[in-house]
Chains A and B, each alone.
Chain A
Amino acid sequence: MSTLSRRRGRLSPYLLILPGGLWLLLFFAVPIFQLGVTSLYDPSGSLEQGYAMTWAFGNYADALSQYWPHFVRSLVYAGIATVLCLLLGYPLAYAIAQKSGRWKNLMLVCVIAPFFTSFLVRTLAWKTILSDNGALVGFLRDVHLLDASGRLLATPIAVVLGLTYNFLPFMVLPLYANLDRLDGRLLEAANDLYASPARAFAKVTLPLSMPGLVAGTLLTFIPAAGDYINAELLGTPNEYMIGNVIDSAFLVRLDYPQAAALSFILMAAILAIVFVYIKRAGTDEVV
């Protein structure tokens, strides 16, 4: 090999990385860094007059004390939605990977089919399904699960249901990718060794599917915690999540330091949860 081509060989990964890497640095990393700086600006400034840098760590305390219910609500709603996604998504992913036979591709297409229509249009469709005059509410009132004036729309149930619906495919796809590679012979071996199906699942299938499960829960929880579309369309201000607050702080109230502090708290909370979760689950493969 000539020196020239060897040198090019050493340089070429950097040339390949350069355009995409620069883009991500410039439009992802720099803005996030700048957001951190903005969160420490003097909150008494304004967009027109500019902000003074006063290392105002008080912004964080103010943001937390003012909006802690929204933070708690976001994490709780996202947590419940993630658990529901897991309960619904695991059997579906398992059925597609191991039980679907020749229907596998068709079932996979069905999982990604919701992506074929617009996210907002689908969420608005839930307004029709959960409507006070709809068949679902009528049925639930008839069997007295809801009282005569009970509603689903504009309740926390509607928001959690919407979150679960919108992020379910993000749970199913990594789980499927993982379960699809599961070696059926391991289950046969467990069976031969007199393990009951439940025990074989707990001792073989579940541990082996951990990487898919961890990836799926993260892909569900992170966007759900930051979402505000479902709360806005299916809930009321009583169900508003932290995303609603950040959105209005940036676009309506134009309070940039506080909005930046709120964003940073959200990101820190999510990263902390993700970190602890990955450690607990004992798998580093996702990162």
Chain B
Amino acid sequence: MHRTLQRLGRWIADHWILATGVFVLGYLFLPIAVVVGLSFNRPSSRLSYDFNEFTLDNWKNPCGPGDMCDAVVRSVQIGFVATVVATLLGTLMAFAMVRHRFRGRGATNLLIFLPMATPEVVMGSSLLALFVAGGVPLGFWTVVIAHVMFCVSFVVVTVKARLSGLDTRLEEAAMDLYASEWQTFRRVTLPLAFPGIVAGALLAFSLSFDDFIITNFNSGTTVTFPMYVWGASQRGIPPQVNVVGTAMFLVSLLLVLGTMVRRRRAVAV
């Protein structure tokens, strides 16, 4: 009797936690649902944020508002370049940090940690001051430089997490079987580290694509998608912004779910 009561109590406790979790997920999803809803909205006026009337016009004509699609393309270009550079630099650093003990390791660790602990407004403004002092014209490349700077640390952390969980005996085994250093790296180390590198690259791209504060300081007249949204929010948001938001959400969701299904299949085989 006592046991059953206890089990019942635990069952309620279990589901109380799960129910709270689902409720919190609802809070996280509410604005996304609103973005999807508003992508089908015909707003009553330029400055209105309320749902007015259902329409498919925004989806039929996503590039209607001038410059918005240019801004999306520019964000993708910046995100791509910044991701490639940050992933390369970050992966190299992660290998050094995990595989080597060397003088200056602590200082390097600090240099990697600090950008993640510094408010964006401070990083953005200090970089602007540097560019202004050095007479560097602001634009596409200053934004890329800034994005690589704040993405590198996140790549290092992500790749490091993967590398430190790897079994080094696999590499030793390859070497014992007369694989050269390069062959071992190419055939054993790199494939094992690859999921971490991909995760780091995806993180870098999403950080870069979504960044507003640092970009706003260093972009000059270059307009990225977040900057377009910011500018539009002052003079009236075109509903197509929500179409881009919804499309981004769907593409990322499909990518992630696709990876999950493929991984599950791989496990099943």
**Interface positions of A (Cβ within 8 A of B):** 10, 12-14, 16-17, 19-21, 23-25, 27-32, 34-35, 38, 47, 88-89, 91-92, 94-96, 98-100, 105, 107, 109-129, 131, 133-134, 165, 168-169, 197, 218, 222-223, 225-229, 233, 243, 246-247, 250-251, 256, 259-260, 263, 266-267, 270-271, 274, 287
A117 to B33, CA, bound (A): 11
Residue numbers in B under 8 Å from A91 (CB-CB)? 17, 20-21, 24
A225 CA to B130 CA, complexed, in Å: 24
User: Contacts A120-B212, A128-B51: A13 and B102 contacting too (C-beta < 8 A)?
Assistant: yes
Q: How far apart are the CA atoms of A165 and B25 in the complex, in Å?
A: 11
How long is the Cα–Cα vector from A120 to B224 in the complex, in angstroms?
A: 12
The answer, yes or no, to whether B90 is at the interface (CB within 8 Å) is: yes
- Which A residues touch B123, using CB under 8 A? 28, 31-32
B67 CB → nearest A CB, Å: 16
The answer, yes or no, to whether B189 is at the interface (CB within 8 Å) is no
- Among B14, B17, B49, the most chain A Cβ lie within 10 Å of the Cβ of B49
CA distance A35 to B124 in the complex (A): 11
A23 and B152 contact, Cβ closer than 8 Å, known pairs A128-B50, A165-B27: yes
Top 6 A-B pairs ranked by shortest CB distance? A226-B119, A95-B21, A20-B89, A13-B100, A16-B96, A116-B252
Complex: A29 Cα to B114 Cα, angstroms: 9
Question: B195 at the A/B interface (Cβ < 8 Å)?
Answer: no
* New A-B contacts (20) at CB < 8 Å, excluding given A168-B27, A247-B216: A13-B105, A19-B88, A19-B92, A98-B17, A110-B28, A113-B29, A114-B31, A117-B245, A120-B233, A121-B241, A123-B31, A125-B35, A128-B50, A197-B10, A218-B117, A226-B122, A227-B213, A229-B213, A250-B129, A274-B117
Which residue of A12, A113, A134, A274 has the most chain B CB atoms within 10 A of its CB atom? A113
- B256: which A residues are within 8 A, CB to CB? 109, 112
State in angstroms the CA–CA spacing of A259 and B126 once bound together. 10
Q: Which of A21, A233, A270 has most chain B Cβ within 10 Å? A: A21
Judge whether B78 is part of the interface by a CB distance below 8 angstroms: no
Q: A129: nearest residue on chain B (CB-CB)?
A: B34
Q: Are B241 and A32 in contact (CB under 8 A)?
A: no
| Cβ-based interface call for B230 (8 A) | yes
A105 in contact with B260 (CB, 8 Å): yes
Residues from chain B with a CB closer than 8 A to the CB of A25 are: 111
In Å, the complex CA distance between A92 and B209 comes to: 27
Chain A positions within 8 Å of B13 at CB level: 197
CB of B95 closer than 8 Å to a CB of A? yes
Q: Is the CB of A111 within 8 A of B28?
A: yes
Stretch from B57-65, B141-149, B166-174 forming part of the interface with A: B141-149
A35–B126 CB distance below 8 A: yes
The answer to whether A129 and B30 touch across the interface, beta carbons within 8 angstroms, is yes
B41 shortest CB reach to chain A, Å = 9
Rounded to whole angstroms, the CA-CA distance of A129 and B38 in the bound complex is: 11
In the complex, are the beta carbons of B29 and A126 less than 8 A apart? Answer: no
Within the complex, which residue of B25, B96, B102, B229 is in contact with A92, where a contact is CB–CB below 8 Å?
B25
Instruction: Known A23-B148, A30-B130, A116-B248; judge A122-B108 contact (CB<8 A).
Output: no
Q: Which residue of B lies closest to A106 (CB)?
A: B260
Q: Which residues of B contact A32 (CB under 8 A)?
A: 118, 122-123, 126
**In the complex the two chains form, is B253's CB within 8 Å of A35's CB?**
no
Would you call B89 and A19 a contact (CB within 8 A)? Answer: yes
**Is B28's CB under 8 angstroms from A96's CB?**
no
Among B32, B95, B156, B260, max chain A CB count under 10 A is at: B32
Taking a contact as CB atoms under 8 Å apart, the answer to whether B17 and A121 are in contact is: no
Which residues on the B side are within 8 Å of A274 (C-beta)? 117
